[in-house]
Amino acid sequence: MFTNSTILVTGGTGSFGNKFVPMTLAKYNPKKIIIYSRDEMKQWEMAKRFQGDPRIRFFIGDVRDRERLYRALDGVDYVVHAAATKIVPTAEYNPFECVKTNINGAMNLIDACIDKKVRRVVALSTDKASSPVNLYGATKLASDKLFVAGNSYAGADGCRFGVVRYGNVMGSRGSVIPFFLSIKDKGVLPITDPRMTRFMITLEQGVELVWHAFEDMQGGEIYVKKIPSMKVTDVANAVDDTCTQETIGIRAGEKLHEQMISAEDALLTYEYAEHFKILPAIHNWSEDPFRIKDGVKVPENFVYSSDNNREWMSIPELRSWIEQHTNEIDKV
């Protein structure tokens, strides 16, 4: 689908972008991938990886800057929206900044993509957008709603918008695995709550879900990958089972368990072999056979959360994954 096309990735210097770019270059050979982000040093470091590849371009800009987005989107066919303020405690203590990026930035991008006649946009969401209890989750829920409704603004033949939602990305910047790896030599690993569970998804799976959304969507769907869960204490044991685990309490705005589909979402949710799809509540799109396809409606009051998951990752499985990806895990 991306062959000979131009793709722009907002927030493209993050963990997702650093995986999406090489995988997409290898599989689809697009004409151009534009990395749009505001951190020049991260762009400088990323450019070294792709030095000499004429398909990679870099564009300094912020999704808060509407005019800059319009300039960056000239000739763009597809957009992956990965830019976000996403550290939960940071958002709690800097709420205005989180809103400016996650909500205002989404609005800017939607308008710009419609006006610049971009074909399709996939926005990255989070488990925290389902029944949100923190500001980050609330802003991402608002962002999800904006991207779903963007299909109405675009018209029948305009830009199509979709969303992918997934949980803890294994080894991504700022996540628990690289954090534990960076401090394990101290002999103590901090555990927020021994009951805590998290979904586990690899960056590769995240990229593949985005590819699927681009290929499958009619507009307004939210895609949720089926992935295993893990207890945070088991994550710690997989990193180093000789370390003492010290309970420190849940951080501001943090959930005990992750949730990706709520009981309210279940009324609009269909199940497929490897994922779920939450259909839009507006315009009777949830009854559209082109969106439903071969999906099976989930039971009433269905909830997809990390504590009631049918699939669990074992300590040996995670330990093996860490050993295989040691050089790729961001230890920052």
Confidence (pLDDT) at 7: 98
Q: Map out the domains of the chain as residue ranges.
A: 6-167+200-227+258-305
* Model confidence, pTM: 0.94
Confidence (pLDDT) at 167: 81
Count of other CB atoms within 10 angstroms of residue 332:
8
- Residues linked to residue 201 through DSSP beta bridges, in sequence order: 169
CATH homologous superfamily, domain 6-167+200-227+258-305: NAD(P)-binding Rossmann-like Domain (3.40.50.720)
Alpha-carbon distance 87 to 100, whole Å? 15
Give the tens place of pLDDT for each residue, 248-298: 998 777 889 999 999 999 999 999 999 999 999 999 999 999 999 999 999
At a CB cut-off of 8 Å and minimum separation 6, what does 196 contact?
231, 232, 250, 256, 257
Q: Which of 42, 86, 116, 128 is catalytic?
A: 128
76, 6 contact by CB (below 8 A): yes
Count of other CB atoms within 10 angstroms of residue 122:
25
Confidence (pLDDT) at 330: 61
Confidence (pLDDT) at 332: 38
- Kindly calculate the radius of gyration of the chain based on its CA atoms and give it in whole angstroms: 19
At a CB cut-off of 8 Å and minimum separation 6, what does 331 contact?
178, 181, 182
Q: Is 128 a catalytic residue?
A: yes
- Residues linked to residue 189 through DSSP beta bridges, in sequence order: 245
Give the tens place of pLDDT for each residue, 116-147: 999 999 999 999 999 999 999 999 999 999 99
204 closest CA partner among 229, 175, 171, 181:
171
Q: Which residues of the chain have pLDDT under 50?
A: 331-332
